[in-house]
Amino acid sequence: MIFNDRREAGRALAQELRKQADLAGALVLALPRGGLPVAAEVARELQLPLDIFVVRKLGVPGEEELAMGAVASGGIVFLNSPVIRAFSISQEVVDAAVARERQEVESREALYRETLPRAARLPMEVQDRTVIVVDDGLATGSTMKAAVLALRPVARRIIAAVPVSAAATAADVSREVDQLICLHAPARLNAVGECYRNFDSVTEDEMRALLAQVFPSGNSPDAA
């Protein structure tokens, strides 16, 4: 399966979500940058509120691929206490990692949201909501899994939605979420871009323009 671009993939993903998922009261969360054009189409087609969800994994020192937690939009901090204890990670190291990644999340959010109306500059509330986390595809799945780590303590239900994923990664992520919607999961996937004719990088200017289209009036983004 080959998509022309991220927007076409988003429209196809919306159709599948409409058929397979309970979307009552759901919120669409885009993983920047590549997930935003996909998520914008999903939200538009399904008439659901949309926001970006910036997430940073807290890697175990020396074992960065292993998460000891995650920091995300809205001041969310999740710490994986069993991993922290297993690797004997000191509180000082944890605190320093949280502070560093929290600053990175806040910096990126400020950059993405700086041109938005004031009412739309704060992240939307995810507490006790169904959230649809959207990316343009999953290779290793590390960003999606970090987002799920951060959302699990607060969201009522988590749906991961992607146009394409490596089959093994899809199986891995599906164990972490309440539902996975994936349109194409080949056994071998060298790169997500293989499944798009146009897979140009999404620039920060394009992200801000997309968000400005979503929140053009200055109304609260939850006023859908």
Q: Residue 220 — pLDDT band, cuts 50, 70, 90? A: very low
Rounded (5°) CA angle 7-48-37: 20
For residue 119, the model assigns a pLDDT of 56
Q: Above 90 in pLDDT, residue 215?
A: no
**Alpha carbon 151 to chain centroid distance?**
10
Fold of 6-55+124-212: Rossmann fold (3.40.50)
CATH of domain 57-113: 3.30.1310
Maximum distance among all Cα pairs of the chain, rounded to whole angstroms: 50
Q: Residue 121 — pLDDT band, cuts 50, 70, 90? A: low
pLDDT tens for 126-174 read: 999 999 999 999 988 888 998 998 899 999 999 999 999 999 999 999 9
Q: Where in the chain do CATH 3.30.1310 domains reside?
A: 57-113
For residue 221, the model assigns a pLDDT of 44
Q: Residue 219 — pLDDT band, cuts 50, 70, 90? A: very low
Q: Where in the chain do CATH 3.40.50.2020 domains reside?
A: 6-55+124-212
pTM: 0.84
Q: Above 60 in pLDDT, residue 98?
A: yes
User: Which tokens in the block code for residue 53?
Assistant: 């969800």
Between 112 and 17, whose confidence is greater?
17
User: Which tokens in the block code for residue 149?
Assistant: 């780590």
Residue 140 per-residue DSSP state: S
The DSSP element (H or E) to which 66 belongs, if any, is: strand 63-72
